[in-house]
């Protein structure tokens, strides 16, 4: 597996610094599980960040630091526990980071069918984000759509193509703004992707525009 399309420098740097929201963390971790070169880049970024911190001048802290740290720990105790791995890597075909959320095997998941595309929604508690595991039938064409924000997709199995290129296992597709596209899955295999958006998609074309008031993707 040799991914061609990688995480952007901006996303990878933010991931290494711990600055991404959980949906994008999952997307980045899934790509890193499939891409050796990006794992090496991420290690280098962490090493650079550590060196910068070591050279930074020490700063005094306020007398309320202990109270703020304890309050943050109390808040963390009340947060939902992160899903644990279920047989991740034990004969499964789901990348280990994603297996923490859905289990180890794609064929054991309960997909929700939407015509040629089936989906599983993840992290419903993450306000402002939609995180979906998508299974696209071989040869199927996604509806023409554009974006009101970011759409980040990592391919796990199979491949799809659109006006920006071909995306196979491990590849990341990053779409911003008003790009209008219609991804098409390749004929020989089901395409399974993890997709993260921070704003609704908007259907285009005459029929799609008619459906927009009724469908929010």
Q: Convert 96-153 into a string of H (helix), E (strand) and C (coil).
A: HHHHHHHCCCHHHCCCEEECCEEEEEECCCCCCCEEEEEEECCCCECCCEEECCCEEE
Q: Is the pLDDT of residue 213 over 70?
A: no
Task: Decide if pLDDT at 168 tops 80.
Answer: yes
Q: Is the residue at 151 inside a domain? A: yes
Greater pLDDT, 62 or 127: 127
Percentage of the chain lying above the pLDDT 90 cut:
56
User: What CATH number should be reported for the domain holding residue 203?
Assistant: 2.60.120.10
Q: What mean pLDDT value characterizes the chain? A: 82
In a domain, 148, yes or no: yes
Q: In what order do the strands lie in the sheet with 191-197?
A: 112-114, 117-122, 130-136, 191-197, 151-157, 172-175
143 vs 214 pLDDT, higher one? 143
pLDDT of 211: 36
Residue 207 pLDDT > 50: no
In contact, 70 and 59? CB cutoff 8 Å: no
Q: What is the dihedral of CA 36, 38, 44, 49, to 10 degrees?
A: -140
Residue 10 domain flag: no
Residue 91 belongs to some domain of the structure: no
pLDDT tens, residue by residue, 58-84 = 556 666 766 666 666 566 555 454 444
Top-confidence residue, 170 or 79: 170
Tell me the C-alpha distance between 111 and 121, whole Å: 9
Backbone angles phi, psi at 32, to 5 degrees: -60, -35
- At which residue do the structure tokens 């290494």 appear? 16
Query: What's the structural domain count of the chain?
Result: 1
Does position 141 have pLDDT exceeding 80, yes or no? yes
Q: Quick check: is 217 in a domain?
A: no
- Place 44 in a pLDDT band, splitting at 50, 70 and 90: very high
Residue 134 lies in a domain: yes
Q: Which of 15-29, 160-174, 175-189 is predicted least confidently?
A: 175-189
User: Is 34 contained in some domain?
Assistant: no
Read off the DSSP letter of residue 169. Answer: T
- Any idea which of 79-93, 121-135, 193-207 has the lowest mean pLDDT? 79-93
Beta bridge partners of 195: 132, 153
* Interhelix angle 36-55/22-34, nearest 10 degrees: 120
Read off the tokens for 105.
Answer: 């095997």
Name the pTM for this structure: 0.77
Residue 191 lies in a domain: yes
Give the burial class of 110: count Cβ atoms within 10 A of its Cβ; 0-12 exposed, 13-18 middle, 19 or more buried: exposed
pLDDT at 77: 56
Confidence of residue 135 (pLDDT cuts 50, 70, 90): very high
Q: Which region among 12-21, 77-86, 93-102, 173-182 has the lowest average model confidence (pLDDT)?
A: 77-86
| Overall average pLDDT of the 45-52 stretch | 79
What percentage of the chain exceeds 70 in pLDDT? 71
- Residue 200: give the domain boundaries: 111-211
């Amino acid at each position: 597996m040799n991914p061609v399309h990688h995480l952007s420098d901006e996303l990878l740097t933010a991931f290494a610094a711990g600055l991404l929201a959980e949906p994008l963390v999952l997307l980045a971790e899934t790509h890193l599980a499939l891409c050796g070169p990006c794992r090496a880049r991420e290690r280098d970024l962490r090493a650079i960040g550590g060196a910068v911190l070591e050279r930074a001048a020490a700063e005094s802290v306020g007398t309320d630091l202990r109270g703020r740290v304890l309050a943050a720990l109390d808040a963390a105790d009340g947060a939902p526990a992160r899903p644990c791995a279920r047989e991740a890597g034990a004969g499964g075909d789901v990348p280990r980071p994603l297996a923490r959320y859905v289990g180890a095997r794609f064929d054991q998941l309960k997909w929700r069918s939407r015509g040629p595309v089936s989906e599983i929604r993840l992290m419903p508690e993450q306000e402002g984000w939609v995180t979906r595991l998508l299974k696209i039938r071989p040869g199927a064409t996604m509806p023409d759509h554009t974006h009101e924000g970011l759409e980040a997709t990592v391919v796990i199995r199979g491949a799809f193509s659109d006006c920006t290129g071909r995306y196979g296992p491990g590849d990341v597709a990053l779409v911003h703004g008003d790009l209008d596209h219609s991804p098409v899955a390749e004929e020989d295999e089901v395409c399974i992707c993890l997709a993260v958006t921070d704003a609704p998609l908007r259907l285009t074309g005459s029929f799609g525009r008619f459906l927009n008031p009724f469908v929010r993707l």
